Structure 1
Amino acid sequence: MGIRPDGHGNVTETHVAWHTTKGCSYVPSPIVGGRGKYFLIVSDSGIASCFEAATGERHWMQRIGPHYSASLVEADGLVHFLSDEGITKIVRPGEQFELVAENALGEKCYASPAISQGQIFIRSEKHLYCIARDGR
């Protein structure tokens, strides 16, 4: 759902720019990526979608896994989708689906990743992972 930010109070009737009922999530929160241009979401059942943030035009819809609880995060312009199975799919926001990388931790993950100072923190069932480029 896209809501224009210039309203006050109940803006349900006046400021909803667009909405969709297909491929929506119950648990994972969506994200605006690509410098504010794209709205990305993954349904609990693993259907990822990318919309034009301003208009709601759907660019793509792709099954990326069986189940998702974690909210999406963005790092270095890439959106991270972490499945309950502990598989992270890294996608470049855009008009075409582009899977940049895929990494498996080998254990269940239900928490959303956190990003700080160039590091990604992922809590799984039994471990807390810190992933960084420089090997810290």
Structure 2
Amino acid sequence: MSKDALVSAVKQIVATSRGGDLETSFDGYRDLFAQPWFSANRPEDQRQALKLLVLAKRTGQPSAKLLEAHRSAIAPLTELVSNLSDPEDYEMLGVCHLLLGNEEAASNLFRQGLTLERERNPASDLCGRLMTRVASI
């Protein structure tokens, strides 16, 4: 699947979300991340789509559809972590596990990401976010 198709799918999901139909947008993310072609896209492009769901600020109890969407993000994020060891991927995968109730896995992922980011740039915003996430568990 081409980048254009990925961009088109993400635009449709974002438009649905901005239109106020969050539950349908969560279905869109779930379906997008479950597609075999999603992981064939460039890691940077995958990250952009994953960030829109995983790092969005939310309040209140997560819905079943939100949880399903995060569950579907675990496979592509695990692949990114395994192949590239980018600290930002560790953060997103940790957020998914935390939302799904697996605090131990989330804590381990946040700590691994923090270790990598400290080596790369200890003054980065990501380093600060990861330290906050580790401290909150």
TM range (shorter): under 0.3
Answer 1 or 2: higher relative contact order, Cα 8 Å, separation at least 6.
2
TM-score under structure 1 length normalisation: 0.26
Larger Rg: 1
Structure number with the higher helix fraction is 2
TM-score under structure 2 length normalisation: 0.26
